A and B are shown apart, each in its own frame.
Chain A
Amino acid sequence: MREQKTWQTVLKRTAVIVAAVFAFFPIYWLISTSFKPFDEWANWPPIWLTDNPTLQNYRIVFFPDLAREFAAQQEGSLDYKVSGSAWNAFKGSAIVSVAATIISVAFGTLAAYSIVRFKTGGKNYPFQFLTVRMVPPIAVVVPMVVLFSILKLSDTYFGLILAYSAFTLPFSIWMIRSFIDDVPAELEGAAMIHGMGQFRAFLTVTLPLVKGGILSTALFIFILNWSEFLFALVLTAGNVVTVTLQVANYVSASSGKLYGVQAAMGTISTIPVIVFGYMIQRHIVRGLTFGAIKR
Chain B
Amino acid sequence: MNRIPFNIRLVLPAQLTIMAIVVVPTVILLWLAHTDWQPTQNIPWFDAEFYWFWNFYDLWYDERFINSVFRTLFVVATCIAVELFLALGLALLFLDEWPWRKVAVSIIILPMMIIPVDAANAFFMLFNERGPINHLITVITGEVFEFSWLSHPTWAMVPIMLAEIWQWTPLMFLLVLTGLMNLPENQIRAAVGLGASPARIFFRVMLPLLVPVISIAVVIRAIETFKIFDPVYILTRGQPGGATETISMYMYNGAFVYFRMGYIAAAALLVLFVVVSVCLVLAKPLRKHG
Give the interface of A toward B (CB within 8 A). Answer: 12-13, 15-16, 19-20, 22-27, 29-30, 33, 42-46, 48, 103, 106-108, 110-111, 113-115, 117-118, 120-121, 126-127, 129-147, 162-163, 165-167, 169, 173-174, 198-199, 226-227, 229-230, 233-234, 243-244, 247-248, 257, 259, 262-263, 266-267, 269-270, 273-274, 277-278, 281, 284-285, 288-293, 295
Q: Tell whether A134 pairs with B223 under 8 Å between CB atoms, given A120-B8, A269-B115, A274-B114.
A: yes
Tell me whether chain B's interface is mostly helix, strand or loop, or mixed.
helix
Partner of A23 from the list B13, B110, B178, B285 (CB cut-off 8 Å) is B110
Picked from A113, A129, A277, the residue with its CB within 8 Å of the CB of B18 is A129
The smallest C-beta distance from B275 to any residue of chain A, in angstroms, reads: 6
Q: Let me know if B17 and A169 touch, CB within 8 A.
A: yes
- The distance from the CB of B43 to the nearest CB of chain A, in whole angstroms, is 13
Residues of A near B17 (CB, < 8 A) are 103, 107, 162, 165-166, 169
| In the complex, residue of chain B having the shortest beta-carbon distance to the beta carbon of A275 | B113
B-chain residues with CB within 8 Å of residue A173 when the two chains form the complex? 14
A142, B18: Cβ atoms closer than 8 Å? no
Within 8 A of A (CB), among B160-190: 166, 170-171, 174-175, 178-179
CA of A267 to CA of B118 in the docked complex: distance in angstroms?
8
Other-chain residue from A108, A131, A143, A227 in contact with B276 (beta carbon distance below 8 A) = A131
Once bound together, how far apart are the Cα atoms of A147 and B171, in whole Å? Answer: 35
List, in ascending order, chain B residues with CB within 8 A of A118's CB: 6-7, 10
Report how far A195 CA is from B265 CA in the complex, Å.
55
Q: Quick check: B174 and A142 within 8 Å, CB to CB?
A: no
CB of B152 within 8 Å of the partner chain = no
* B255 & A136 in contact (Cβ 8 Å cutoff): no
B205 within 8 A of A: no
Chain B residue numbers with a CB within 8 Å of A166 are 17-18, 20-22
A167 to B217, CA, bound (A): 20
Q: How far is the CB of B57 from chain A (nearest CB, A)?
A: 19
CA A114 – CA B110 in complex, angstroms?
36
Q: A44 near B146 (CB under 8 angstroms)?
A: yes
Those of B103-128 within 8 Å (CB) of chain A: 104, 106-119, 121-126, 128
Which residue from chain B places its CB closest to the CB of A20 in the assembled complex?
B107
Residues of chain B at the chain A interface (Cβ within 8 Å):
6-8, 10-11, 13-15, 17-18, 20-22, 24-29, 32, 45, 89-90, 93-94, 98, 104, 106-119, 121-126, 128-132, 135, 138, 146, 166, 170-171, 174-175, 178-179, 213, 216-217, 220, 223, 226-227, 229-230, 233-234, 247-248, 251-252, 255-256, 261, 264-265, 268-269, 271-272, 275-276, 279-280, 283, 285-287, 289-290
With a cutoff of 8 Å between Cβ atoms, the chain B residues found around residue A108 in the complex are 14
- 19 pairs, CB–CB < 8 Å, chain A vs chain B: A23-B111, A24-B110, A118-B6, A118-B10, A127-B287, A135-B272, A140-B26, A143-B26, A145-B255, A146-B32, A243-B115, A244-B115, A266-B117, A266-B121, A270-B115, A273-B114, A278-B106, A289-B286, A293-B216
Bound-state Cα–Cα, A22 to B106, Å = 13
Q: Give 17 new A-B contacts, CB below 8 A, not counting A16-B94, A174-B290.
A: A16-B93, A19-B93, A23-B107, A23-B170, A46-B135, A107-B17, A130-B279, A131-B280, A134-B223, A139-B275, A146-B25, A163-B21, A199-B6, A229-B229, A230-B248, A269-B115, A291-B290
Could you tell me the distance between the alpha carbons of A227 and B231 in the complex, rounded to whole angstroms? 13
Contacts of A144 in B (CB 8 A): 21, 25
- Per the bound structure, the CA–CA distance linking A163 and B20 in Å amounts to 9
Shortest CB-to-CB span from B86 to chain A, Å, is 8
CA distance A248 to B174 in the complex (A): 30
Q: Are B131 and A130 in contact (CB under 8 A)?
A: no
Cβ-defined contact, B124 with A227, below 8 A: no
Q: In the complex the two chains form, what is the Cα distance from A180 to B256 in whole Å?
A: 42
Chain A residue at minimal CB-CB distance from B116: A227
Check B179 against A293 for contact (C-beta < 8 Å). Answer: yes
Query: In the bound complex, do residue A289 and residue B175 qualify as a contact, i.e. CB atoms below 8 Å apart?
Result: yes
Q: Determine the distance from Cα of A169 to Cα of B21 in the docked complex, in whole angstroms.
A: 11
Of all chain B residues, which has the CB nearest A197?
B6
CB neighbours of A106 from chain B (8 A): 13
